[in-house]
Amino acid sequence: MSSEFKKKLEAYEKDELSGAELEAFEKELDKFEAYQESLEENNPKQEKHSNNDKKQKKVLRRGKWKARFQTALMAFVLFIAFTILATIFTAVYFSWGGKPDRLEVYRSIIDHTLTVTDPYGYMGGTSTNTKAYFGLEATRDLNKMVGHESIQVGELKVDFLLSLMAIPEEKQYGRKSQDQPVFTYPETGSRGMSDWNQLEDLPEGTVVSAYVSFTNSLETKQVFESFQGKNMDLLWLAVDTGSENKALDEGIIFDPIGFPSFPPIWHDNDFIVTEHTEEKFGWFGGKVVSESAVSPDYEEDDYGGVIQEQFMKTLHFLEQHESKADKLVWGELNLSEQINYLNENGFQHYGAVITGPTKEILQLQNEDWIAALEVDEVAFWNWNEQ
């Protein structure tokens, strides 16, 4: 055994070798062991040296396994340390970054996008949960209002890797309509697709939700006044943003944008803090902050004021995060164009989503300002007379 080999062996046992040098020496050890075994098998004269050889081999094996164990232990320690640091970094990344923090911003992107693109999107809220390796999972129930009952029709899940948003995953349940109802743009002619006959065939004791299209475009106040006094609820108003005319397919509007009839679309910075408390804990200046807040005062008959202002505020907010909003709607919102159009032309509505007793809604067939109706969902009686 050469002096150089002995030096490397001592260094190996002391775990002083690393990288390519360690890998090369382990290969040399394997060759040495194989050479020793071959000598023992083919040369009986080597028996007197076998005890020494066995001791050397035992030392070699012990050193090899010791090095492997130390390497595995080091890898495990590094993995645990990386997991802890990644978890801390993930929590800090999503919880910090100003007020509102990233958690609130990403949650608001999902909530506000659904509110302006889905007639039932204002119902419910998004829950978020940070994950170990720089991830965030956001989930949200998808609901519909049929009569006075909210029914769950699906679930939405959105994953984030730091600021990168994955393609949303949507699960639909059995109560989801197979044929999505649509709006018909005013003055494009009748498509002959109205569901008045379906309403006539439905029995008393049922409630429906439906999309109604107007004969002519109406202002916000006109829409509210048209439904005032009727035994039905106005849920959502579709807004003419100028893009509908460009994408018309035989007068059909597949991807409407609009806002709920009540309440306005409030944002985090709209709420008024009524109570603020801080409780310190620990030795490092930690504290728990608790706040109570209420939404601003709002007059229900302020049809052209707060509702429209908050809708425009929502569009401006989503414009800053349009790439994420586009993923949620599987398309392109082109928000800057729509904002400019509304600033120049004001608010006009071509349709709305309503719900109520079947036979009450059937009476809209006699209204000249209603051009078409498409049923969305039907349920047994759950209507609380107001």
Q: What is the pLDDT of residues 180-233, one digit of tens each?
A: 899 999 977 666 778 999 999 999 999 999 999 999 999 999 999 999 999 999
pTM of the entire structure? 0.76
pLDDT value at residue 284? 45
More confident site: 31 or 91: 91
In contact, 241 and 376? CB cutoff 8 Å: no
Mean pLDDT taken over the chain = 82
Give the residue-averaged pLDDT of 92-110.
83
Residue 191 and residue 330: Cα distance in Å, rounded?
A: 26
Ramachandran quadrant class, 285 (left: phi over 0; alpha: psi -120 to 50; beta: rest)? left
Residue 291 and residue 276: Cα distance in Å, rounded?
A: 5
Give the residue-averaged pLDDT of 106-122.
95
Residue 162 and residue 15: Cα distance in Å, rounded?
A: 39
Give the residue-averaged pLDDT of 323-349.
94
CB atoms within 10 A of CB 17: 18
pLDDT value at residue 76? 80
What confidence tier does 91 reach under pLDDT thresholds 50, 70, 90? confident
Tokens read off for 199: 């309403």
- Distant-in-sequence, close-in-space partners of 193: CB < 8 Å, separation ≥ 6: 184, 372, 374
pLDDT tops 50 at residue 85: yes
In contact, 216 and 369? CB cutoff 8 Å: yes
pLDDT tops 50 at residue 21: yes
Pairing of strands 149-161, 135-146: antiparallel
pLDDT value at residue 230? 94
In contact, 123 and 143? CB cutoff 8 Å: yes
- Distant-in-sequence, close-in-space partners of 275: CB < 8 Å, separation ≥ 6: 290, 291, 292
φ, ψ of residue 250 in degrees (nearest 5): 60, 35
Share in percent of the chain as helix, strand, coil (round to 5)? 45, 25, 30
pLDDT tops 60 at residue 54: no
pLDDT tops 70 at residue 59: no
pLDDT single digits (tens) 273-316? 767 676 665 554 445 556 666 777 777 667 668 899 999 999 99
pLDDT single digits (tens) 219-265? 999 999 999 999 999 999 999 998 876 655 667 898 999 999 988 89
- Distant-in-sequence, close-in-space partners of 322: CB < 8 Å, separation ≥ 6: 333, 335
